Amino acid sequence: MLSTVRLAQTLAGFDRAALQHLLIERDLDGEIPHLTELAIRLLNEANITRVLRRLTLLELTVLRGLGREEDATQSAEASHGIAADSPETFAQLKALGLCTDEGTLPEVQEALAGLIETHGALPAPRDFLALDESEYAETEPASDWPQRAFLEAQRAVLTLQFARETPLKLTRARTMTKVSERALCEATFAPESSVAFTTAALTFIGALRPEAQQLIVTENAGVWATLPHPTRWVALASAILKSMPQLLRAALSVPGRNLSAIIEHTTTVTYPLMGQPEREALSLFAERCEHFAITSNGVFTPAAERLLAEPADISGAIRLAHEHFPATVAGVYLQPDLSVIAPGPLDPRQGLALLQLADLTAPGLATTFMLSERSLTAALERGWSVPEMRDFFAETALTPLPQPLEYLLKDLAERHGTLEVEPLNNTDGATIVRVRDERLARELLADSRLQLLSLTATEKPTELFTRFSQPHVMALLLDARYPASNANRSRARSDDAAAHADRDEAETVRFIEQIAPAHRHDETQTQREWAEQQAAQLTEGTQGGAGLDIVPVLELAARTGETMRITVSDGKREHLLDLQPVSVSQGRLRAIDPKAQLERTVSVRAITAVEPIHNTEG
């Protein structure tokens, strides 16, 4: 009770901004009607423990020193001495609600002693110093970091390509199902251990979004995928660095350090009482950095160092990445066996187009694709036309078009346009299949492979009706080797061209600057708005130090049976009464006077101050 009142009185001196900061830093939520309730929640053991785990060694040392006075009568004097020696640290601890001007709070000291006993003694003050240079295992990143960075960005593109056509299902725990994970591994040629890293990074840049138990490809994906290879990676690296655990940020003020050594120093010296979940978060962050070549052998790569600056130098990071990344090649080699060989990194737009026209068989700096009747027929469904395919191969190939490809394109051209599938866009999701002549219409009606579609003739002999949706109809027709095409092809291609519009450097930098872990941004924004509103309500009555609402204090005393020293004014002079509150109702306090052994009733409006007194019992 004494700590609660002392803390509540201290909080009454906080302005709105200070209270808002306190609410956020102490991870509070829900309705807090008054400062006494806020003090009660701040003195909750779990909440105290949570904030102590996030204190630096310097803060912990000062806080422990505040509670070491043996003589209670010397407490205030001694604590003021420590506060004078470390005024900034003392102010930070007070702003966190861990101490008052009179000194530390017993509940805080008890929780601190328990944590120290669990974790062992705090490091010596000399360990406040930064890491010694000898602790860095590496001084330079490995030379192959650009190749690894390129490969992981390429796998991210393949992930988006797969997710556009095959839903990535999520479990109730928001992790990918094993079936989707295995399918994605096969499609991207990636080990299972890397799938979670890739999908998380794409979520960070907003290219993937969890929705209705699956990962949805967003508009950000189209913008990001058409960026140059080095810029793609910078966007991923920037988003991953923005997801850095807050406790690690202060330790990274000097770039070029070994991240593993910094994390070891952070968990053992800087934040010695850090909890296991926070330690695991740091470890996961280090693994992500190494996976995406943000670090190499634990050392931050040159472009990543630019992103660590305050503010981040995105333009500089892009320039450095371009200097280190392998240059793009002029085109591809088309082979008679219909294989396509890219001897180096392709222009991103060429690479995206090839992923729509061919099957990827070997990713990497040198990439191999395979063309087939099936892959080109699938491209028709995606919105390509045969003339567009021919023009693309003519522009991209470093060799003449091989004869087998010429035959394949000619055959597709003869059959293309003979069968178009168009959705009716009604509530039933029905579809119209238009054919070139009545002979083909009769063939479709008689084909046993298409019985599932239940095709029926319409008034027009060249149009067939089915109640199934367009994607389902397209899939069955293509499986049956009919050259079905999307009736909305022209619109799809124009949308694709718009997505490939050139962007200048300033626009690209703005795009990367806006990228942030979506879930963290939403949570932070929600917490900030709640804290701002709650702080406004809490300061409405106190006006930044005008006083503490005494009614909640009296109600608390009535619940706990505490005796209070109450100051009562009759308008002329003040009287001090030691009373044990019983109830507060209709503006009046009922209380027991322990000395007179009688019950008193006092108007709450006449009470000007309250102060707890320790009961002699207990």
Residues 266 and 318 reside in one and the same domain: yes
**Residue 253 phi, psi (nearest 5):** -65, -25
What is the per-residue pLDDT for 70? Answer: 40
Residues 312 and 177 in one domain: yes
- Out of 399, 431, 449, a domain closes at 399
In a domain, 408, yes or no: no
H-type alpha helices, 43-191: 45-52, 57-66, 75-85, 87-95, 106-119, 145-165, 178-188
Of 524, 522, 503, 527, the closest CA to residue 235 belongs to 503
337 shares its domain with 318: no
pLDDT at 125: 64
92/153 same-domain check: no
Q: Are 227 and 296 within one domain?
A: yes
| Strand-strand pairing, 214-217 and 208-211 | antiparallel
Query: Does the residue 511 lie in any domain?
Result: no
Q: Are residues 116 and 165 in the same domain?
A: no
- The answer to whether 263 and 286 have CB atoms below 8 angstroms apart is yes
Strand extents, DSSP E, 357-494? 359-362, 367-370, 419-423, 431-435, 456-457, 463-466, 484-486
Q: What is the pLDDT of residue 520?
A: 56
Please state the three-class secondary structure of 480-515 as a single string.
Answer: CCCCEEECCHHHHHHHHHHHCCCCCHHHHHHHHHHC
Claim to verify: residue 204 and residue 274 sit in the same structural domain: yes
- Residue 38: both structure tokens together: 């806020």
Asked whether residue 90 is domain-assigned, the answer is yes
Number of domain units in the chain: 5
Q: So what's the pLDDT on residue 492?
A: 44
One domain for residues 275 and 383: no
CATH of the domain at 561: 2.30.30.100
Residue 139 in domain: no
Buried b (16+ CB within 10 A) or exposed e, 111-129: bbeebbeeeeebeeeeeee
Mean pLDDT by 10 residues, the chain (618 residues): 81 90 91 87 94 91 73 43 69 92 88 91 65 55 93 96 92 91 94 93 94 92 94 96 86 66 84 91 95 93 91 94 95 96 95 95 94 89 86 95 94 78 79 88 92 91 91 86 70 44 80 72 74 87 54 83 86 87 89 88 87 57
| Same domain, residue pair 108 and 165 | no
Residues with Cβ < 8 Å from 225, sequence gap 6 or more?
A: 157, 160, 207, 232, 348, 352
Domain residue limits at 376: 333-399
User: Are 253 and 306 contained in the same domain?
Assistant: yes
Tell me whether residue 115 is in a domain: yes
Which domain-ending residue is among 324, 341, 362? 324
User: Is 316 inside any structural domain?
Assistant: yes
Q: How far is residue 480 CA from its own chain's centroid?
A: 44
Residues 300, 140 contacting (CB under 8 angstroms): no
Within-domain flag for 536: no
Token reading at 553: 């204090």
Boundary residue ending a domain (128, 153, 186): 128
Residue 358 sits in the same domain as residue 259? no
pTM: 0.78
Would you state the pLDDT for residue 497?
A: 42
Tell me if residue 467 falls in helix, strand or coil.
Answer: coil
Which tens digit of pLDDT belongs to each residue from 259-304? Answer: 888 888 888 888 999 989 999 999 999 999 999 999 998 889 999 9
CB proximity list for 113: less than 8 A, separation 6 or greater: none
Q: Are residues 219 and 168 in the same domain?
A: yes
Identify whether 16 is part of a domain.
yes
Q: Which pLDDT score, from 0 to 100, does residue 547 have?
A: 53
